Amino acid sequence: MTVEKFSYDNKIVRDFAIASIVFGVVGMLVGLLAALQLFAPVHNLGTQYTTFGRIRPLHTNAVIFAFVGNAIFMGLYYSLQRVCKARMFSDLLSRIHFWGWQLIIVLAAITLPLGLTSGKEYAELEWPIDIMIALVWVVFAINMFGTIFKRREKHIYVAVWFYIATVVTVAVLHIVNSVEIPVSFFKSYPVYAGVQDALVQWWYGHNAVAFFLTTPYLGMMYYFLPKMAGRPVYSYKLSIVHFWSLIFIYIWAGPHHLLYSALPDWAQSLGVVFSIMLIAPSWGGMINGLLTLRGAWDKVRDDVTLKFMVVAVTCYGMATFEGPMLSLKNVNAIAHFTDWIVAHVHIGALGWNGFLTFGILYWLIPRIYKTSLYSKKMAAFHFWVGTLGIVFYAASLYWAGITQSLMWKQFTPLGILQYPNFLETVIQIIPMYMIRAFGGALYLTGVVVMVVNLIKTAKSGVLEANEPAEAPALEKDYVDKSTKHRWLETRPGKFALLATIAIIIGGAIEMIPTFMIKANIPTIPSVKPYTPLELQGRDIYVREGCYTCHSQMIRPFRSETERYGEYSKAGEFVYDHPFQWGSKRIGPDLMRIGKKYPNLWHYNHMENPRNVSPGSIMPNYDWLLKQNLDNSTLESKINAMRTLGVPYAPGYEKQALQDLTKQAEELAADLQKNGAPAQSNKEIIALIAYLQRMGTDIKGDTTTVK
């Protein structure tokens, strides 16, 4: 038994910590801006780069991939080295991973406000960045598995299983959901359309929650919580059972985001069943976390890191109980499209991800700087102000969501809608939006206090960039890479393979039938491809992030068919790359907006929504009236669409511009006739053309509004 001397890389941990904090502050500031925009449109700041439709994806991407992403790498790089008793596989790969990830974040921060988006929630980044993400992720994977293979500890601790599942599954999700056809350097169309696109998107979206916001954090919980409490995890058996159940079951539950939509019913039911089953493994994790503190609760009183951990794990339990409840169809009928969902995800983001990150930061920074925390008082203040912030945020949105939903569904005794004007239901909850912003501001205040506290802490010590350690070498026969496939016979190899099989089975059975069986998407003969002008208009709709506030999915409830018109059918979306069903109604559904209002109404409404709807919180889109429509990529767009199966005749791309011009001139002439100073070459014309087309095909009605 020779004892080997080596060192842990703390510098990379410190770097990821800084990145997480910096982007956390930025992401939350952007979130606060979005919250202000929702009760006072003036905060859209009058430029197209800062409107809600572009800011909201920036906020979600910044919080998920920049704040939480960097925090994952921080916690993972720290704990993985220690439970493997090995330095990270390669310092160079660590650096490439770090700078690559930050570059991706910066590119996201530039492209999203510019309106360069693929229009799929939490996967908005365009194709060149998607490729970069995949490459950096592979670097990270090599670095992680390399570390596991050269470990000096024979056994693989439970935290590492969660890390392996994370690395493998995120790669699969990202690649499958990002298959797209480029039409230019920053514009692409997803290969999936309509219902299929929705299914893939929410298989991805739901499992981003599972494998980006949950499994890596559970892994960190299993390492840091025992360390903080000074006692091992409550039940190692439970951790084994709950790990495998979690990754097996989570992957199936994606369709619960699409209940009562045009998704085939069997797929919806599958999603509901697995969502209910998910309570068990999720609560297994929560119970294991909380019971680790049995007999150590006295420590929670004076150890602020444990306070953060307890609230984080409790919020995890709340969110993972609420999720399955929201998946029940009768509950979902009320909650879907409302602020209830926004409250739900923020219990997870602010409570579980945020607080666990803060707890780890308060514990970790003093240790790698070989000092003690600058101020326990400030940390305690952060804890209380942050907790209060979560309460204000969530409570106000629960109130808002349920209020608005009940107003949408309310009929008078005569059987007509009590609140036929959607705007009435929005104005009703504006005070709640103010309280939400206040809650967010409180939470952010706590974070700023933490930043000061941690900077002072770091200044009082010195970073131990390479922490010396020693451990006996592993018996060499244990990891033998002499033949090519030997890695599969090692435990981490088997593990990774099993985990992959588990998630692929679930994903495949969920998706294959919808892709392969025609009966799942009944065709509607009268549904035709978009004209070139409408296609351009649709791309503007995607660019401006209209889907962040407007759904295109009328559910089969009387309250919705009364308000909007005929419910949405699967066959209506067959040419929609990407689908734009949306997941939140800050404004009314647009599925049947076509021909509902004259062109002039849309023109005035887009210039300033308050021209036609006093009290509206929608941003102005006046630049659409001034910007020329860019038709330079029209040919490649038509070609790309044809490749994807949209039946444009061969050679139609040559004629497309002519057709577009003709339709635009007709539309502009109508606007001019009614007194609007419209020009046919502006973006607004294309957008109006798309809006007037929307949802009209099944009516088989080609007359225009008089």
Partner 1 sequence: MFDNILTSIEGIAIYPIFSLVIFFLFFLGLTVWVLKADKKYLEKMSEIPFEK
Task: Please return the burial class of 159, using the count of CB atoms within 10 Å of its CB with bins 0-12, 13-18 and 19+.
Answer: buried
- Minimum CB–partner distance for residue 79 and partner 1 (Å): 8
**Which pair of structure tokens corresponds to residue 444?**
């952010």
Is residue 291 a contact residue for partner 1 (CB under 8 A)? Answer: no
Q: Which of 191, 407, 553, 590 binds partner 1 (CB under 8 A)?
A: 191
Q: Of residues 485, 518, 654, 706, which one binds partner 1 by CB under 8 A?
A: 518
Q: Which of residues 216-235 bind partner 1 (CB under 8 A)?
A: 223, 226-227, 232-233
**Interacting positions 115-154 with partner 1 (CB under 8 A):** 153
For residue 36, which amino acid is it?
A: L
Contact 423, 613 (CB under 8 A): yes
Q: How far is the CB of 211 from partner 1 (least distance, A)?
A: 18
Measured CA to CA, the distance from residue 357 to residue 222 in angstroms comes to: 14
Any contact of residue 244 with partner 1 (CB under 8 A)?
A: yes
- 194: closest CA among 509, 693, 571? 571
User: Which tokens is 352 given?
Assistant: 């579980």
State in angstroms the smallest separation of the CB of 120 from partner 1: 17
Question: Residues touching partner 1: how many (CB under 8 A)?
Answer: 39
Which of left, alpha, beta for 337 (phi over 0: left; psi -120 to 50: alpha)? left
Short-list 117, 53, 148, CA closest to 494: 148
Which segments of 292-418 are extended strands (E)? none
Distance of closest approach, residue 253 Cβ to partner 1, in angstroms: 14
Q: For partner 1, which is the closer residue by CB, 420 or 522? A: 522
Determine the 3-state secondary structure of 9 from DSSP: strand
Name which position in 1, 2, 3, 155 contacts partner 1 (CB under 8 A): 155
- Nearer to partner 1 by Cβ, of 512 and 705: the residue is 512
Least distance (Å) from partner 1 to the CB of residue 448? 32
* DSSP code, position 10: -
Could you tell me which of 95, 190, 52, 194 has the C-alpha nearest to residue 521?
Answer: 194
Q: Select from 135, 473, 505, 669 the one that contacts partner 1 (CB under 8 A).
A: 505
Residue 248 in the binding site for partner 1 (CB under 8 A): yes
83 counts as binding partner 1 under rule CB under 8 A: yes
Tell which one of 103, 509, 669, 705 touches partner 1 (CB under 8 A). 509
Decide if residue 158 touches partner 1 (CB under 8 A): yes
For 188-222, b/e burial (b = at least 16 CB within 10 A) is: bbbbbbbbbbbbbbbbbbbbbbbbbbbbbbbbbbb
CA-CA distance, 511 to 517, in Å (whole number)?
11
Q: How far is the CB of 615 from partner 1 (least distance, A)?
A: 44
Shortest Cβ distance from residue 18 to partner 1 (Å)? Answer: 25
| Span near partner 1 by CB under 8 A; candidates 76-84, 316-324, 362-370, 696-704 | 76-84
Least distance in Å: CB of 230 to partner 1? 8
Does 80 interact with partner 1 (rule: CB under 8 A)?
Answer: no
Task: Using the rule CB under 8 A, give the single segment among 66-74, 188-196, 302-310, 312-320 that binds partner 1.
Answer: 188-196
Asked if 512 interacts with partner 1 (CB under 8 A), we say yes
Query: What is the closest distance, in whole angstroms, from the C-beta atom of residue 694 to partner 1 in the complex?
Result: 23
The Cα–Cα gap between 102 and 20 comes to 10
- Residue 189 pairs in a beta bridge with 181
700 lines the binding site for partner 1 (CB under 8 A): no
Binds partner 1 (CB under 8 A): choice among 27, 354, 493, 506 = 506
Q: How far apart are the C-alpha atoms of 19 and 449, rounded to whole Å? A: 17
In this complex, which beta carbon is closest to partner 1, that of residue 299 or of residue 376?
299
Kindly state whether residue 241 participates in binding partner 1, applying the rule CB under 8 A.
yes
Q: Which of 149, 487, 515, 557 touches partner 1 (CB under 8 A)?
A: 515
Give the 3-state secondary structure of 265-283: HHHHHHHHHHHHHCHHHHH
Q: Which stretch, 94-102, 238-246, 423-431, 697-705, contacts partner 1 (CB under 8 A)?
A: 238-246
Q: By CB under 8 A, tell whether 195 contacts partner 1.
A: no
Strands 3-9 and 466-472: antiparallel
Binding status of residue 245 toward partner 1 by CB under 8 A? yes
Q: Looking at 556, 645, 647, 700, which residue binds partner 1 (CB under 8 A)?
A: 645
Q: How far is the CB of 94 from partner 1 (least distance, A)?
A: 22
Q: At closest approach, how far in Å is the CB of 552 from partner 1?
A: 21
Which CB atom, from 55 or from 200, has the smaller least distance to partner 1?
A: 200
Q: Is 82 in the site for partner 1 (CB under 8 A)?
A: yes
C-alpha span between 201 and 272 (Å, rounded): 17
What whole-number distance in Å separates Cα of residue 254 and Cα of residue 272? Answer: 9
Q: Which is nearer to partner 1, 194 or 366 (CB)?
A: 194
Torsion over CA: 291, 292, 297, 303 (sign): negative
Of 173 and 193, CB closest to partner 1: 193
Pairwise CA distance, residues 11 & 88, whole Å: 11
Site for partner 1 contains 397 (CB under 8 A): no
Taking CB under 8 A as the rule, does residue 3 contact partner 1? no
The span from the CA of 175 to the CA of 187, in Å, is 17
Question: Which CB atom, from 192 or from 212, has the smaller least distance to partner 1?
Answer: 192
- Residue pair 14/368 in contact (Cβ under 8 Å)? The answer is yes
Q: Which of 512, 501, 587 is nearest to 552 (CA)?
A: 587
- Residue 122 near residue 203, CB atoms below 8 Å: no
Residues 526-585 within binding reach of partner 1 (CB under 8 A): none
CA angle 49/52/56 to nearest 5° reads 100
Cα separation, 553 vs 585, whole angstroms:
10
Choice from 78, 98, 192, 250 touching partner 1 (CB under 8 A):
192
Distances (CA, A) of 178 to 109, 175, 693: 19, 5, 28
Residue that is written with structure tokens 């002499």 in the block: 482
Q: Which residues make up the interface to partner 1 (CB under 8 A)? A: 79, 82-83, 85, 153, 155, 157-159, 191-193, 196, 223, 226-227, 232-233, 236-237, 240-241, 244-245, 248, 505-506, 509, 512-513, 515-519, 521, 643-645
